[in-house]
Amino acid sequence: MSSSGEGPLPVTGAWRAGDPPGRRKWITGPGALSLEAGGSLPGYTLAYETWGTLNSDASNAVLVEHALTGDSHAVGPAGPGHVSAGWWGGLIGPGKALDTGEYFVVVPNVLGGCQGSTGPSSPDPDGRPWGSRFPSVTVRDQVVVEAALADAIGISRWAAVLGGSMGGMRALEWAVAQPSRVASVLVVASTAAASAEQIAWASPQLHAIRSDPRYRGGDFYDALPGDGPHAGLGIARRIAHVTYRSEPELAQRFGRTPQGDGRFAVESYLDHHADKLVRRFDAGSYAVLTESMNTHDVGRGRGGVAAALERVTARAVVAGVDSDRLYPVSQARDLARGLGVEAAVITSPYGHDSFLIETGQIAALVKGLLS
């Protein structure tokens, strides 16, 4: 797996057996996993990282849920086994909002992901990558295996479950599906159910990946270096990244400035993020996880969203970003109303990505939740 912008592109940016483990730990699921959409996995592995120390009664554990292209490495530098630096390092650590002198912080890599947990790039029982045979998984399935992780490490109730974007979907599902196991929950830049527009934005991303001839229907893992579905995954990332930022920010940073090489500066910016992603992520996982986000709906089979939210007993904080065009503030307000709380609004020019950028405002929400 290449970790720089130089040299041939890896077939996949997934962590593979034989790569350095880094800070990861693993649990193996207790037997076969029946999946919500049908089918099953004969077994699974979940990678996770922890910071801090679990106290004697396991009452200080906090679960942090990553977004679509995140992973378990929320804190720490890039290095062997970790192609990217931690994505929430400003919030987790001694003296920070999630003070690791007080809390035991657990960050799993999601089921279907590509950084140590079972996903399309993982070997099946016969040792072949799952590829196109990897089944559909939903946010509910992902929370089921996270509950098995909690059981394995001795946590019966989380002091808090926190997440933004796709991570917010899992945090909310935890509070709905396992109310007795969640004392408090923070949902940022997320929703109770994927909207038509969110599914619409995902559609061309999925088409871009699946239309790349090097995707080979999802069975590309035996290709030579440089021969993976980089074009399709790169296009998907370009589309997504536009939705992650705001129009005023792009206008202020780039305007119509030409790059000097035939590209506008904003095109160069998108090309850069596409190149970074294909070196650290997996096209198969991108498709699987995007589909799981599309099917997210806490009200499915529970009498609708309002009825589902009535199950929540956790203290809840819900926040939206005023410049988010992918998960608009209106959705945060709807969710907050359903939980009987008032939505917080993060003020930022950075759009959806503000939940990763606006550390000070997020820290204030976390401290308020845990106070």
Cα–Cα separations (whole angstroms), residue 74 to 45, 60, 70, 271: 19, 18, 8, 25
Q: Which of 122, 352, 353, 354 is catalytic?
A: 352
User: Closest by alpha carbon to 68, among 305, 236, 196?
Assistant: 236
165 is catalytic: yes
- Strand 184-188 with 33-34, pairing: unpaired
324 counts as catalytic: yes
352 among known catalytic residues: yes
Which residue in the list 324, 334, 353, 354 is annotated as catalytic?
A: 324
- CA dist., res. 368 & res. 359, Å (int): 14
* Residues sharing a CB contact under 8 Å with residue 57, sequence separation 6 or more, in sequence order: none
- Considering only CA atoms, which of 188, 190, 179 is closest in space to residue 369? 188
Handedness of CA 111, 116, 122, 127 (dihedral sign): negative
H/E element, 63: strand 61-65
Q: 144 - beta bridge partners?
A: none
Active-site hit among 84, 117, 121, 165: 165
Catalytic residues: 165, 324, 352
